[in-house]
A and B are shown apart, each in its own frame.
Chain A
């Protein structure tokens, strides 16, 4: 439970702030000027801060929507991402956020309306082209949704936009805002998944794989498009059996027609992030594997990556047509 909320005084009256005030009546509220006063400062300790993170309510002023790095998107669409939040309720050992920020406090940008305005500008600029907007790049799209109410507003905004797709990427089972409405034909609920044993060991605080699969099936049954994201792929001695079993579990009772896309990507870190993450979890096996470093990127190396790629591609082909399967390369 969140005990301390730092808020930029400027947004004290904002409806999102008001919503959170009502939801967390017992939290201590502390005024600040700007969120950078306490977020990602020197000498902060991500791992310790993660034990009791505070919520920071802030206003975002610029860079609402950014182009995704190449290798992230699905196909030839123009792809953008946006982050209404920095950091995440969950604590995955491989999460790049721990390498990116020294701070584990959650920053929630309450001015969603400015994100939507900026997305509208992009749509106008690229009129007639297919665009995809990814939410959940610096956070999980839904994990915080009960408090933030973001998904509902995003879905209201995207509803009916043609040629424009929204992907909500998540490990959360907080799918209420989706289930309570008619499915949007241009929204993909994309779930990150790993074999149950892997998730149990690495996806700390996130819902179990069983619960994620059950959320997928509920959404699919309600008519939502589903994305399956096997990213990062984790190497362990029996990885083939584990991933085969995972695919079978997911596909059991799931209508393949409801699957919008499947993507997978190897475990990779920029060198600096790897060093930082390893220093936070020096005793974890994830960071004890003899990784290879090429051009500043730390990975399992070409041999293992190719093995995993080949296996996943052929295994997933058993369930779904090839044109829906993509490899992420960042």
Chain B
């Protein structure tokens, strides 16, 4: 275990970007760039993270199934929230050069099962898009005009269920082509190719972060609600009713605070009724705009 001790039990952590890479060589430039530290090194899937910068990363090893398993492991291990972006990042073969170009996969096809995935929102202002085939053995023929990797389909099968499809991204850097054989790929080359794209990667993250923040805002449960739910025993039905009426009440009276001290002797139902009454009294003056 590293100095990064509290991560596992801290439910307040807000990771914005969850990276899944197959190889350590693909992970290292990201780990360095975002100053991530080891969090988990005993299991099959090493995890790195930088809580402050909002990055977490897992190294899956090669293959579709491992990619899906590693993403799930990261999700559960760090209790990743449901507004985080998931990025499958790494090198890929392509039917044309030059190596070093970066692409977003807009369609991912598992050559094994035939299943197709369409991850992410298009980031067309920043990077070009390409179709990607996930194959089970290294592809050296480059027969189709697509990217080739060995992981993305597995990742795409799983990651959208952690947040949503629009926060799931597959980003690849071309490492081999018909005129640049995969046998020439070295750790050093991978690092070099990725480092050259770090500023582009920062731009991409800035774009994704806007979506993450929007989802975070939409899904967040206000502290006042959390306080009340800790203090009072709401049944599941009442919890839903309380959250709904609180939402409406807060929109109607944005500057009001729900003060715990006013409700100390109240039952959950009474709290809900009180908020309902206040919202209803406001109907005559309702401004829908």
Within 8 A of B (CB), among A160-209: 197-198, 200-201
In the complex, the answer to whether B279 meets A290 with C-beta atoms within 8 Å is yes
User: Which residue of B is nearest A281, CB measured?
Assistant: B218
Q: Which of A197, A280, A288 contacts B248 (CB 8 A)?
A: A288
In the complex, the answer to whether B121 meets A49 with C-beta atoms within 8 Å is yes
User: Which residue of B is nearest A54, CB measured?
Assistant: B122
Given the interface contacts A28-B106, A45-B215, A49-B166, does A290 sit within 8 Å of B280 by beta carbon? Answer: yes
User: Which residue of A is nearest B288, CB measured?
Assistant: A236
Within 8 A of A (CB), among B266-289: 276, 279-280, 283-289
Interface string of A268-304 (1 = CB under 8 A from B): 0000000000111011111111100000000000000
- A286 to B118: give the CA distance in the assembly, Å: 32
User: Which residue of A is nearest B210, CB measured?
Assistant: A51
User: Which residue of B is nearest A3, CB measured?
Assistant: B124
- A278 to B244: give the CA distance in the assembly, Å: 10
In the complex, the answer to whether B166 meets A280 with C-beta atoms within 8 Å is no
In the complex, B116 has a CB within 8 A of chain A = yes
- A64 to B113: give the CA distance in the assembly, Å: 32
In the complex, the answer to whether A43 meets B211 with C-beta atoms within 8 Å is no
- A47 to B163: give the CA distance in the assembly, Å: 13
Q: Which of B107, B167, B247 contacts A30 (CB 8 A)?
A: B107
Q: Which residues of A contact B177 (CB under 8 A)?
A: none
In the complex, A68 has a CB within 8 A of chain B = no
In the complex, A44 has a CB within 8 A of chain B = yes
Max chain A Cβ within 10 angstroms of own Cβ: one of B106, B131, B211:
B106
- A47 to B121: give the CA distance in the assembly, Å: 11
- A287 to B289: give the CA distance in the assembly, Å: 11
Given the interface contacts A288-B248, A288-B252, does A37 sit within 8 Å of B118 by beta carbon? Answer: yes
- A193 to B152: give the CA distance in the assembly, Å: 46
Task: With both chains docked as a complex, state the minimum distance between the C-beta of A305 and any C-beta of chain B, in angstroms.
Answer: 13
| A residues contacting the other copy or chain, number (CB 8 A) | 40
In the complex, the answer to whether B122 meets A45 with C-beta atoms within 8 Å is no
Task: With both chains docked as a complex, state the minimum distance between the C-beta of A281 and any C-beta of chain B, in angstroms.
Answer: 8
Interface string of A226-268 (1 = CB under 8 A from B): 0000000011110000000000000000000000000000000
Q: Which of A30, A32, A198 contacts B288 (CB 8 A)?
A: A198
In the complex, B236 has a CB within 8 A of chain A = no
In the complex, B29 has a CB within 8 A of chain A = no
- A4 to B125: give the CA distance in the assembly, Å: 12
In the complex, the answer to whether B289 meets A45 with C-beta atoms within 8 Å is no
Q: Which residues of B contact A49 (CB under 8 A)?
A: 121, 166
User: Which residue of A is nearest B254, CB measured?
Assistant: A283
In the complex, the answer to whether A43 meets B160 with C-beta atoms within 8 Å is yes
Q: Which of B118, B129, B289 contacts A28 (CB 8 A)?
A: B129
User: Which residue of B is nearest A27, CB measured?
Assistant: B124
Given the interface contacts A237-B285, A237-B287, does A45 sit within 8 Å of B164 by beta carbon? Answer: yes
In the complex, A52 has a CB within 8 A of chain B = yes
- A164 to B283: give the CA distance in the assembly, Å: 44
Q: Which residues of B contact A3 (CB under 8 A)?
A: 122, 124
In the complex, the answer to whether B286 meets A47 with C-beta atoms within 8 Å is no
Within 8 A of A (CB), among B81-137: 106-107, 116, 118, 121-122, 124, 128-129, 131
In the complex, the answer to whether B288 meets A52 with C-beta atoms within 8 Å is no
Q: Which residues of A contact B129 (CB under 8 A)?
A: 4, 28, 30
Max chain A Cβ within 10 angstroms of own Cβ: one of B165, B248, B288:
B288
Q: Which residues of A contact B166 (CB under 8 A)?
A: 44-45, 48-49
Max chain A Cβ within 10 angstroms of own Cβ: one of B124, B128, B167:
B124
In the complex, the answer to whether A51 meets B287 with C-beta atoms within 8 Å is no
User: Which residue of B is nearest A300, CB measured?
Assistant: B283
Given the interface contacts A44-B164, A49-B166, does A197 sit within 8 Å of B289 by beta carbon? Answer: yes
In the complex, B214 has a CB within 8 A of chain A = yes
In the complex, the answer to whether A43 meets B161 with C-beta atoms within 8 Å is yes
Within 8 A of A (CB), among B235-259: 247-248, 251-252
In the complex, A6 has a CB within 8 A of chain B = yes
Q: Which residues of A contact B124 (CB under 8 A)?
A: 3-4, 28, 52
> Closest 8 CB pairs between A and B?
A288-B251, A48-B166, A236-B288, A43-B160, A45-B164, A288-B248, A38-B118, A201-B289
Q: Could you list 5 A-B pairs, sorted by A, with CB under 8 Å?
A: A3-B122, A30-B129, A37-B116, A45-B167, A51-B211
